[in-house]
Amino acid sequence: MAITEWLMEQFKAIHKVIWIILLPIILDIGELSLFERIFKTEYEPISKLFNLKIGFISAPPSIRYILEDFPSLIFQYNSSAFRGVINQINLTNMLLLLSVLLVTSFLGSGYLSVISQAGHKRVTFKDFLRDGNKVWFKFFSLTLLGVIPILLVLIKKELGYAYLSLIYLPLVYVKYSIVVDEVSLIDNFKLGISFLFNNLGLTIKMAFSFGVSFSLVGIGIYPLAAMGFQGIVLGAIITAYFGAVINKAVLEIYREISEKQRENFIQ
């Protein structure tokens, strides 16, 4: 099946759990509102007509994928400088960081658990809480690894953040393994990493196809964001919707291809 066909098939599944897109919308708009209130500044996005994206959008998706200068309340690395509440290493900041990671990892685990089941069974908010809790620790561990590059740069600022963030690249499928494969966390890492290297060509095709698709969506988001807060809200809604569809497409491709490869290996 062509990648575009995979993508088109996921719209129906997402429509059955359309309420889940409220999560990334609330996260984006809530973070923007708090950032503007705490730092007493109004966010004005950089004006662009088109920005070519290559890669997968995060799960949950964020308008930050399109608006790369979208502010982050906790920490953000832009142009060799840190922005946000956490901009240095100390005990208070580390406790705050751990608290945020615990909350966001639970939200991420619940979100992807719902996305995983959409189209296969009836999913409710109860499933979000129950199934998200089941894999909470796994998502926390994965999320913790994701902030290591930022912490290293905070400790030693001459280190290159972009270079260090490449360490996280081989883990792109681990979160999908966590919600699809009922195995230990170590095996989730093994399965996710092996899927990447066994399907490198497919991954590149998906990154290009889904990236270009979202780049086209971004053409509409930039002028909306330029309209101010209400426009950004609309942009966040569009991002959350199409982002959920792409999250679902990547997950279903991972599910089907990995199952086929395992069956072939057993035979």
DSSP 157-217: TTS-HHHHHGGGGGGTTHHHHHHH--S-HHHHHHHHHHHHHHTHHHHHHHHHHHHHHHHHH
Burial of residue 103, with CB atoms counted within 10 A of its CB: 0-12 exposed, 13-18 middle, 19 or more buried: exposed
Q: Indicate the domain borders of the chain.
A: 3-266
**pLDDT of 40:** 84
**pLDDT of 158:** 52
**pLDDT of 60:** 95
Q: Up-side HSE of residue 94: CA atoms within 13 Å toward CB?
A: 7
Measured torsion, CA atoms of residues 64, 234, 21, 31, in degrees rounded to the nearest 10: 50
The pLDDT profile of the chain, 267 residues, written as one tens digit per residue, is 678 888 899 999 999 999 999 999 999 999 999 888 888 888 888 777 667 888 899 999 999 999 988 888 776 666 555 666 776 778 887 888 889 899 999 999 999 999 999 999 999 999 999 999 999 999 999 998 888 777 776 776 655 555 556 778 889 999 999 999 989 999 999 999 999 999 999 999 999 999 998 989 888 898 999 888 999 999 999 999 999 999 999 999 999 999 888 776 655
Helix (H/G/I), strand (E/B), else coil: 121: strand
Burial of residue 197, with CB atoms counted within 10 A of its CB: 0-12 exposed, 13-18 middle, 19 or more buried: exposed
Q: How far is CA 156 from the centre of its chain?
A: 27
The helix (run of H) or strand (run of E) holding residue 78 is strand 76-78
**pLDDT of 116:** 96
